[in-house]
Amino acid sequence: MSSGGNDVVVDGVHVALQEQGSQNIEEIPLSDDLVEEESFDDEEMEDEDEEMIDTDTIRNTAKLLMRRKPSKFLVKYEDDTFLLFDYDDDKNDNTNEEDNGSYPIICEDIDYFHESFKKIFVIIRKFIQSYYTGVTLGAKEIVISIPALDLMIYEDNMYNDQASFSDLETNFQTLCKRSRESGETEIPKYLSALMTTRPRFVSRYNTLVELTEGTATLRNIKPFLNNEDNPVVLDDEDDEDNANKALTRDAIDIIEDD
């Protein structure tokens, strides 16, 4: 190593040194790559902010759409007619319609329009049992029949948690639109359904199990008819005459109450 003035030689390499207190030190400019990287970071943050705003907007819009009242959906049970949900008058032109009266609403919370059939059936069951004094549906399964779509919805169906009345309405409106475009006539303006009940599978199955625990044979099992005039007869006695006798409606009510 050797030095001369401000020049120092280290292993044959000359190194220039600045004197202390020198004011001629040149400023080292920022690399273009660093400037571009900083600029990119700023742009990325702006994009993230815009994306966040867009996401919030979409979410809020979705909430507003979900809060809109659904279309008219009538449900008939026995001699009465109900509305499944409160509906949007603007979606249904009820001029000169016979069914434009005011009906009791089964489900007051329109948010359930987007919930699964499974949850709606819980509400329907509670409503029917409270609307009709003394009615119990314990061993009965609710069935909703929609003639316009040739569709039957059973309360105990295992797929009830995978579809909603909102999905049903979307399918209905799509088909109606195509029908109008095709010039079809007698297109329903809203969905209507018929609600009935039938014995639940688990209830009937348990009854069969009880028969096997006694002395009953196949002769004791009578075909089930969902008709008050032909009620179910389950007789596990050996007396054939008793097996052929139908239970009266009063007797059935007593059994159900127990």
104 and 192 assigned to the same domain = yes
- Mind listing the pLDDT tens digit for each residue in 52-63? 666 666 655 555
Residue 153 is assigned to a structural domain of this protein? yes
Q: Which of 156, 178, 199 is the last residue before a domain boundary? A: 199
160 and 250 assigned to the same domain = no
159 and 115 assigned to the same domain = yes
Mean pLDDT of 178-201: 94
Q: Which of 182, 199, 216 is the last residue before a domain boundary? A: 199
Residue 24 is assigned to a structural domain of this protein? no
Least confident interval from 24-28, 58-62, 139-143? 24-28
Residue with tokens 């209905």: 172
Output the pLDDT for position 244: 40
194 and 182 assigned to the same domain = yes
In degrees and rounded to multiples of 5, residue 233 shows phi and psi of: -120, 115
Residue 67 is assigned to a structural domain of this protein? no
Contacts of 97 (CB under 8 A, 6+ apart): 189
192 and 245 assigned to the same domain = no
149 and 188 assigned to the same domain = yes
229 and 177 assigned to the same domain = no
158 and 210 assigned to the same domain = no
Residue 193 is assigned to a structural domain of this protein? yes
Residue 43 is assigned to a structural domain of this protein? no
Residue 211 is assigned to a structural domain of this protein? yes
Residue 7 pLDDT class (50, 70, 90 cuts) = low
Residue with tokens 């009940």: 197
pTM above 0.85, yes or no: no
Residue 195 pLDDT class (50, 70, 90 cuts) = very high
Q: Which of 179, 199, 219 is the last residue before a domain boundary? A: 199
158 and 240 assigned to the same domain = no
Does 179 have pLDDT greater than 70?
yes
Three-class SS of the chain: CEEECCEEEECCEEEECCCCCCCCCCCCCCCHHHHHHHHHHHHHHHHHHHHHHHHHHHHHHHHHHHHCCCCCEEEEECCEEEEEECCCHHHCCCCCCCCCCCCCEEECCHHHHHCEHHHHHHHHHHHHHHHCCCCCCCCEEEEEEEHHHCEEEECCCCCHHHCEHHHHHHHHHHHHHHHHHCCCCCCCCCEEEEEEEEECHHHHHHHHHHHHCCCCCHHHECCCCCCCCCCCCECCCCCHHHHCCCCCHHHHHHHHHC
Least confident interval from 34-48, 85-99, 206-220, 228-242? 228-242
Does 170 have pLDDT greater than 90?
yes
Output the pLDDT for position 31: 53
Residue with tokens 């069914």: 99
Output the pLDDT for position 216: 86
Rounded-to-integer distance, Cα 113 and Cα 66, Å: 8
Residue with tokens 């979705």: 62
β-pairing, 151-154 vs 80-85, is: unpaired
Residue 20 is assigned to a structural domain of this protein? no
Mean pLDDT of 38-64: 60
Least confident interval from 19-33, 46-60, 124-138, 172-186? 19-33
Residue 213 is assigned to a structural domain of this protein? yes
| Cα dist from 151 to 10, 19, 111, 116, whole Å | 94, 95, 23, 16
115 and 192 assigned to the same domain = yes
Closest CA to 190 of 71, 108, 100: 71
| Domain housing 212 | 201-257
In one-letter notation, the amino acid at residue 93 is D
Which of the two residues, 235 and 158, has the higher pLDDT score? 158
Output the pLDDT for position 249: 44
Least confident interval from 27-36, 82-91, 176-185? 27-36
**% residues pLDDT > 70 (the chain):** 54
* The two structure tokens encoding residue 218: 């196949």
Most confident of the following: 71-80, 95-104, 217-226:
71-80
103 and 159 assigned to the same domain = yes
Considering its fold, how many domains does the chain have in total? 2
Is residue 77 within 8 Å of 195, Cβ to Cβ? yes
178 and 112 assigned to the same domain = yes
Does 169 have pLDDT greater than 60?
yes
Residue 138 pLDDT class (50, 70, 90 cuts) = confident
* The two structure tokens encoding residue 53: 């705003």
